[in-house]
Amino acid sequence: MFSRIRALIVKELLAILRDKKSRFVLIVPPLIQLFVFSFAATQEAKNQTLAVLNLDEGKPALTLEQDFAAAATFSEVLHLRGAAEVKPVIDEQQAIAVLWIPEDFSRNIEHGRPAEVGFILDGRKTNTAGIVQGYAQRIVNNYQAGLAAGGQSAGAQLVVRNWFNPNLDFKWYTVPSLVCILTTLISLLVTSLSVAREREMGTFDQLLVSPLHPLEILVGKAVPALIIAMIEGTFMVLAAVFLMRVPLNGSLPLLYASMAVFLLAIIGVGLFISSLSMTQQQAILGAFVFMVPAIILSGFASPIENMPPWLQAITQGNPLRYFMTIVRGIFLKDISAALVWRQTWPMAIIAAVTLSTATWLFKKRME
């Protein structure tokens, strides 16, 4: 039995590695994606234009305006002359936001009365607007702190320190997440395409008439995919550490152990798709039907805590969610084995479910 499975595994690896195209597909696009996404999928707002409508000529108003202009977010500041210019400047997307300082701003400040400033954001760019709003809030807070200290430098000040990512470098956040997403993609594609490719070539019948048990065929498909995805994952981690300069603080054995469990869960899904699809096209479509929701529900783009409860419940079945937590934890903070285990056992259950469903379906489809 072992010699039969070994023959299957060797065949599968050779089939993938001897084919120039699939060799290319395995190596080049994931690396390109890692780079492109790391720089493009940043959640910082940079190089934005701010429009300022300052109707006040007092010093406090000027200070506030300067605080905004000095922020790294805004590379350019447009000065508006009247309220009539506010609408066109947003409409034509000349600026992401308008800072509107009313006439009585300085007077209110000087008299210790509550003072208001308007901040108009372009809601069409929801994400950027949200980030810019956060920055604006921070600038205003600092400004208030400055006022409260009465202009003295030694006053009470809020000191912010970001743990694990002191400079809030978003690459540190995106790169580990991308390591997860790209290994998912590779293992899913390798498994879901492999049976469909054999169906198209006619070799699958040849396997089915051999004395191989369906379970042996499945193991022969799962193990090579696991090996390839682990190697691929290693490449990603190396690229993250040495090319993208993301620190790796945690334990490598824990990373690999959890990666193996995670990949088994994904391979189960891949085998499930592949026993359903007759052609490679169907397999690719099937892979993306799983892939897209899995990424969205992984907490990569939006925090799971912000989702409605029923959706949060669904994310419990998403292996990517757990693995993402582990990888980020291992990269950015040295999380403990106990914490890793807390995220790993749900993946082990998911793997057991996906693999056994795939086996069941695979046997059923053979009839």
Piece of the chain touching another protein by CB under 8 A; list 4-12, 48-56, 128-136, 239-247: 4-12
Q: Minimum Å distance from CB 19 to another protein?
A: 5
- The answer to whether residues 33 and 184 touch, using CB atoms and an 8 Å cutoff, is no
Task: Decide if residue 279 touches another protein (CB under 8 A).
Answer: no
When the beta carbons of 18 and 111 are compared against another protein, the nearer one is 18
Q: What string marks each residue from 113 to 142 as x (binds another protein by CB under 8 A) or -?
A: ------------------------------
Piece of the chain touching another protein by CB under 8 A; list 104-112, 186-194, 195-203, 341-349: 195-203
Task: Decide if residue 178 touches another protein (CB under 8 A).
Answer: no
Task: Decide if residue 18 touches another protein (CB under 8 A).
Answer: yes
Q: Minimum Å distance from CB 288 to another protein?
A: 21
Task: Find the binder of another protein among 11, 125, 138, 342 (CB under 8 A).
Answer: 11
Task: Decide if residue 281 touches another protein (CB under 8 A).
Answer: no
Pairing of strands 74-79, 97-101: unpaired
**Number of amino acids touching another protein (CB under 8 A):** 25
When the beta carbons of 34 and 189 are compared against another protein, the nearer one is 189
Q: Strand, helix or coil at 302?
A: coil
Task: Decide if residue 365 touches another protein (CB under 8 A).
Answer: no
Task: Decide if residue 314 touches another protein (CB under 8 A).
Answer: no
Q: Minimum Å distance from CB 16 to another protein?
A: 8
Task: Find the binder of another protein among 76, 213, 243, 253 (CB under 8 A).
Answer: 213
Q: What are phi and psi of 43, to 5 degrees?
A: -110, 25
Q: Which helix (H) or strand (E) holds 11?
A: helix 2-18
| Residues within window 245-274 making contact with another protein, judged by CB under 8 A | none
Q: What are phi and psi of 98, to 5 degrees?
A: -120, 130
Q: Minimum Å distance from CB 284 to another protein?
A: 19
Task: Decide if residue 6 touches another protein (CB under 8 A).
Answer: yes
Task: Decide if residue 36 touches another protein (CB under 8 A).
Answer: no
- The answer to whether residues 320 and 181 touch, using CB atoms and an 8 Å cutoff, is yes
Piece of the chain touching another protein by CB under 8 A; list 12-20, 128-136, 144-152, 320-328: 12-20
Number of other residues whose CB lies within 10 A of the CB of residue 213: 13
Residue 14: both structure tokens together: 């050779």
Rounded Cα gap, residues 193 and 198, in angstroms = 9
Task: Decide if residue 333 touches another protein (CB under 8 A).
Answer: no
Task: Find the binder of another protein among 145, 208, 243, 313 (CB under 8 A).
Answer: 208
Pairing of strands 74-79, 118-121: unpaired
- The answer to whether residues 98 and 86 touch, using CB atoms and an 8 Å cutoff, is yes
- The answer to whether residues 320 and 298 touch, using CB atoms and an 8 Å cutoff, is yes
Residue 320: both structure tokens together: 């990517």
Residue with tokens 């993250």, as numbered in its chain: 240
Task: Find the binder of another protein among 156, 159, 209, 338 (CB under 8 A).
Answer: 209
Rounded Cα gap, residues 173 and 102, in angstroms = 39
Task: Decide if residue 10 touches another protein (CB under 8 A).
Answer: yes
CA 205 to chain CA mean position, Å: 40
Number of other residues whose CB lies within 10 A of the CB of residue 63: 16
Number of other residues whose CB lies within 10 A of the CB of residue 95: 23
Task: Decide if residue 206 touches another protein (CB under 8 A).
Answer: yes
- The answer to whether residues 79 and 54 touch, using CB atoms and an 8 Å cutoff, is yes
Q: Write the single-letter amino acid at 256.
A: Y
Give contact residues for another protein (rule: CB under 8 A): 3-4, 6-8, 10-11, 14-15, 18-19, 201-203, 205-213, 366-367
